[in-house]
A and B are shown apart, each in its own frame.
Chain A
Amino acid sequence: MSCGHEKNTPYSIEAYQGHIQRKKLLLLGVFLFVLVLMILSLGAGSTKLSPREIIHTLFSGEQTKTRIIVWKLRLPRVIAALVAGWGLSISGCVMQTCLGNPLASPSTLGLSQGAIFGANLAILLFGAGTLQHTGGDALVLNSPYLVTVCAFAFAMLSTVMILSLARLRHFSKESIVLSGVALGSLFAAATTILQYFSTDVRIAAALFWSFGDLGRIVWKELLILTAVVVPISVFYYLQRWSYNALLTGEDTAKTLGIKTKALRFWSLLLAALITSVAVSFLGMIGFIGLVGPQMMRRVLGDDHRFLLPASALAGACILLASDTLARTIISPIVLPVGAITSLLGGPTFLYLLMKGKRS
């Protein structure tokens, strides 16, 4: 990419501004792509709807069957995909920058394992859910909120443990990641032991929970998720130059006036909050926090002025595309969306990695 730029006059401020303009256009392109995807996704399903019908239903007040399909069934799902994908990806991006580790993600901090343990605890020990073969939805959770609260509590617990260790014992970035991996395996082991002493039906329920499903969410939960994701995203965007400074190394960042320890602590805590809320409402949706930002780093570079919004949009895009595929590919069966995100994201990511090496 850089070779092409050098042919223009790279000596002027105009050239630099042109370069910035191109990044903005790309960002706009991704945004428009997400909008188109949203319309397509609202139209896809057992009742096919044309874009014209969807737009009409969205903006007119008529009480029709399509209105119910769009507003009650599809829109919460589509918005959940957008908000959760946005949140997971932007928090993944911040985790990678703060820990200086391209592999940093909720599972590296032991957060996902904590959430799974919490949900297992609720389902297996407190009997919050069983698996029944009645109708389309096999998983019946007697008290879904108990599962959500437990998952959230343990996800946050693992994060708070690691971050306090890091604060009290002055851990380096590497130690944070390593202690996250250690804590993660601790939770995984505890989950295994729980499952070993439980009944088949309950284990199946716990497993089903961990698959991740956007259909679970209702408007109220969606509101909570949005209320968490939006302000934190704003906070992240305000810190964009500070994150750029962190990339130059701890010492240089400090001498640029950044309070690196505080920035890292709050950024990671808020990232954990987003992921915990998302995981506890929707179950495990892996890979987006890793792939979304990494894709965009390759396309747009490491400048957080563009990387943060681009990662968020990429995450929204991947999750929405995955969910739309998951519920249409062998309809009426809905595949676990977490598996589809990895199926779609994996090859795309490998392709970008290989393309990056060549240039």
Chain B
Amino acid sequence: MSLLHVDQLSFSYPCSEILREISFDVKQGENVALLGVNGAGKSTLIKCLSRILHPQKGEVYVQGNPLSKMKSREIAKRIAYVPQRQEFNRTTVFDAVLLGRKPHMGWEVGSGDLVLVKEILKKLSLDHLSLRDLDTLSGGELQKVSLARALAQQPKLLLLDEPTSNLDLRNQLEVTELLSTITKEEGISAVVSMHDINLALRFAHRFIMLRDGEVHAFGGKEIIIPENIHSTYKVDVCVEEIDGRPIVIPL
């Protein structure tokens, strides 16, 4: 059974239709990259999957359960979201990550919560920043803290909205690398919207190309071909293989 099943999902704002009859599946442990031009509906789709927005038609199923019938706390135990832009305030990194335990929390944080947060911080090499306030961190560090908070929710599915768009090359690679490792180790799935196709090729198992609110193509590396990229992005490219890995080069 697939972990995430999206069935005929449509979403529109009062004046404009954003998503039209989107359907796809994500298997457990699978990373899916969401590609498309600005305004194609990538962020809206991510928000519909995390129930930040409520689609007018269609349904999203997680482990067979329809999201529209689930309590928000139950959804939060299964799906975690990392927004494109990180808010910062005077909260320590440790507390910011501890907040990810909110859906699991009773009256107060337990010692188990503290141990889990510590492990996550260590895994993301954030432990030396534990007691630093968020407003003293760099963009890359903030992005990692946000990812750490999402992991503290112990979700089955991670949703990331352009996690690399504000980062430098080194941080872009580091964050995608981290995502690959963690989803593999923990067996969790991820749906990630991305601008950089080459970065997406480094870590995603499958790709969704969105065009004008519809799924233009959905599949593995075989769909990353010049024709599809041309019809999605309106640019001519060639796809070369370097070190056994396809690389998209604009012409």
Contacts and interface: CB of A to CB of B under 8 A. Distances in A.
Interface of A: 2, 5-6, 10-13, 15-17, 19, 241-242, 244-245, 247-249, 251-252, 254-259, 297-298, 301-303
A60 B201 CA distance: 80
Given A11-B128, A16-B114, A16-B130, A254 B52 contact: yes
B50 A255 contact: yes
B235 interface: no
B73 interface: yes
A244 B100 contact: no
A346 B47 CA distance: 43
A157 B47 CA distance: 35
B90 A255 contact: no
B31 interface: no
Interface stretch (B55-63, B80-88, B207-215, B240-248): B80-88
Contacts of A247: 87, 89, 91
A329 B160 CA distance: 60
A338 to B, nearest CB: 29
User: Which 7 residue pairs are nearest across A and B when measured between Cβ atoms?
Assistant: A257-B76, A257-B73, A255-B81, A301-B90, A5-B131, A302-B89, A257-B103
B228 interface: no
A15 B94 CA distance: 11
Question: Which range holds the interface residue count of chain B?
Answer: 35 or more
Nearest to B94: A16
DSSP majority for the A interface? helix
A256 B99 contact: yes
Interface in B95-122: 95-96, 99-100, 102-103, 105, 114-115, 118, 122
B132 A2 contact: yes
Given A249-B87, A297-B90, A256 B76 contact: yes
B27 interface: no
A13 B99 CA distance: 16
Contacts of A16: 92, 94, 114, 118, 130-131
Given A254-B52, A258-B72, A241 B90 contact: no
Contacts of B132: 2, 5-6
A2 B136 contact: yes
B127 A10 contact: yes
B68 to A, nearest CB: 14
A242 B76 CA distance: 13
A301 B92 contact: yes
B9 interface: no
Contacts of B131: 2, 5-6, 10, 15-16, 19
B91 A244 contact: yes
Given A19-B92, A252-B81, 7 more contacts: A2-B131, A11-B122, A247-B91, A254-B52, A257-B77, A302-B89, A302-B90
A301 B95 CA distance: 11
B85, B87, B128, B136: residue with the most chain A Cβ atoms closer than 10 Å: B87
B95 A244 contact: yes
